[in-house]
Amino acid sequence: MNNRLGILLSGRGSNFQAISDRILAGRLNASIACVISNRPEAPGLAIARQRGLPALSIPSRGLDRESYDRLLLDQLRAHDIGLVCLAGYMRLLSAAFIRAYPLRILNIHPSLLPSFPGLDAQHQALVHGVRFTGCTVHFVDEDLDSGPIIEQAVVPVEDGDTLETLSARILVEEHRIYSEAIATVLEGRYRIEGRRVLKYPR
């Protein structure tokens, strides 16, 4: 697998920015070959352009999932992507897309999966009243937020937490573990047994 990352995002792009910062600091041996958004107005796209990275929006209006994902695949192939990183990408991927990149699509999710998959994971955690939540980086398979887990970080829920304070503390951990998971995968420092991702030390 080559170390060229294709980043898919739909919004703010802070996870993308954290990955980019790590690369720029020489702490992650990868390059960002393209940043793609389904939303032209995504702030993450503007950040990519400011950083001189290839950034494109592919609006999804009027396209079914398979047709849209074919456009995505065309772009990722054109940019010779080795690893696809979902960074706040708020669209489900088609089975054909997932099969095109086996064990080469990662996602970050703001909860300790399998708790609170889907939308508004931080809100779900607050409403449920858990004492601990966190974030997860996992391989993407054909079910929602369900592939083998590469990294997790635990974040305690404080009594006074609001959606904003809790999300902000989770985000700090997201920014840390996403780059660690990318390095593990790019360097091939793991094997998978059943659902378990067993990591080899550096």
Can you spell out the DSSP letters for 36-75? EES-TT-HHHHHHHHTT--EEE---TT--HHHHHHHHHHH
Picking from 44, 108, 104, the residue whose alpha carbon sits closest to that of residue 73 is 104
Segment lying near ligand GAR (by CB under 6 A), choices 8-16, 125-133, 180-188, 192-200: 8-16
Q: Is there a catalytic annotation at residue 109?
A: yes
Instruction: Give the residue carrying structure tokens 């094997």.
Output: 191
| Binding-site member from 30, 32, 83, 87 for ligand GAR (CB under 6 A) | 87
33 or 145, CB closer to ligand GAR? 145
Site track 98-117 with ligand GAR (rule: CB under 6 A), x = hit: ----------xxx-------
95 or 163, CB closer to ligand GAR? 163
| Amino acid in the structure at residue 179 | S
| Binding-site member from 84, 174, 182, 186 for ligand GAR (CB under 6 A) | 174
Picking from 47, 49, 100, the residue whose alpha carbon sits closest to that of residue 73 is 100
Instruction: Give the residue carrying structure tokens 């780059």.
Output: 179
Segment lying near ligand GAR (by CB under 6 A), choices 10-18, 46-54, 154-162, 181-189: 10-18
* Contacts (CB under 6 A) with ligand GAR, residues 120-149: 121
Whether the Cβ atoms of residue 157 and residue 132 lie closer than 8 Å to each other: yes
Phi, psi of 99, rounded to the nearest 5 degrees: -70, -25
- Label the pairing between strands 149-156 and 83-86: unpaired
**Token couple for 33:** 């070959």
| Binding-site member from 3, 4, 12, 115 for ligand GAR (CB under 6 A) | 12
In whole angstroms, give the CA distance from residue 59 to residue 40: 7
Residue number, nearest CB to ligand GAR: 88
The active-site residue, picked from 109, 128, 138, 175, is 109
Least gap, CB of 66 to ligand GAR (angstroms): 21
Task: Assess 54 for contact with ligand GAR (CB under 6 A).
Answer: no
- Give contact residues for ligand GAR (rule: CB under 6 A): 9, 11-15, 44, 87-88, 108-110, 121, 171, 174
Catalytically annotated residues: 109
